[in-house]
């Protein structure tokens, strides 16, 4: 079991740190908890990096670890997902640019049910392909496509009000 060197690990954090933080924030909606989960994600990446066989899937593999870390956290504390009537908690402005855009579209996206929101965020904000999203979330590609379609249908009437 060969561990990665410190310089390579620091490069991974620089390369993917903000994206992992965004994913974590998407799940927990709390900046400080997202930071903790980002740190936990990279600890897991460091400990298991030797298991990554194909480095071309490095980003997908790391995001999958981030998603699983967040889902495990949410199971552990049994957080109820946001409903459409809940207020969205915005982090302090100095950190917000790292997380999500402050436009009306984003405020509607974060109100989507979790199964739609995570796909929209991964597809539009993180620019993952349908195939990569299916790998990260452990879903069939057809399921990802269907959820993306339904998310768009849910967003359409809300966005028509804004546009």
pLDDT tens-digit readout, 129-158: 999 999 988 999 999 999 999 998 888 887
CATH number for 162: 1.10.10.10
Do 12 and 73 reside in the same domain of the chain?
yes
Number of structural domains the chain divides into:
2
149 within some domain: yes
140 within some domain: yes
Do 59 and 118 reside in the same domain of the chain?
no
Do 74 and 115 reside in the same domain of the chain?
no
Boundary of a domain, candidates 85, 112, 146: 85
Under 8 Å between Cβ of 22 and 125: yes
pTM of the predicted protein model = 0.66
pLDDT > 70 in the chain, percent: 79
Coil vs helix vs strand at 80: coil
CATH number for 53: 1.10.1740.10
91 within some domain: no
The whole-angstrom separation of Cα 96 and Cα 112 is: 19
DSSP assignment of 5-71: PHHHHHHHHHHHHHHHHHHHHHHH--HHHHHHHHHHHHHHHHHHGGG---GGGHHHHHHHHHHHHHH
Do 70 and 112 reside in the same domain of the chain?
no
**pLDDT score of 10:** 92
For 41, the domain range is 1-85
């Amino acid at each position: 079991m060969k561990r990665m060197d410190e310089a390579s690990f620091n490069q991974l954090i620089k390369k993917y740190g903000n994206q992992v933080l965004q994913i974590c924030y998407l799940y927990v909606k709390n900046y400080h908890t997202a930071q903790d989960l980002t740190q936990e994600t990279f600890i897991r990446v460091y400990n298991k990096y030797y298991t990554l066989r194909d480095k071309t899937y490095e980003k997908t593999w790391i995001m999958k670890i981030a998603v699983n870390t967040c889902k495990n956290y949410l199971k552990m504390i049994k957080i109820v997902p946001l409903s459409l009537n809940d207020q969205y908690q915005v982090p302090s402005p100095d950190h917000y640019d790292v997380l999500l855009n402050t436009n009306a579209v984003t405020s509607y996206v974060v109100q989507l049910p979790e199964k739609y929101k995570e796909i929209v965020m991964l597809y539009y904000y993180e620019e993952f392909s349908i195939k990569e999203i299916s790998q990260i979330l452990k879903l069939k590609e057809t399921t990802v496509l269907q959820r993306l379609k339904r998310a768009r249908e849910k967003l359409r009437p809300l966005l028509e009000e804004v546009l």
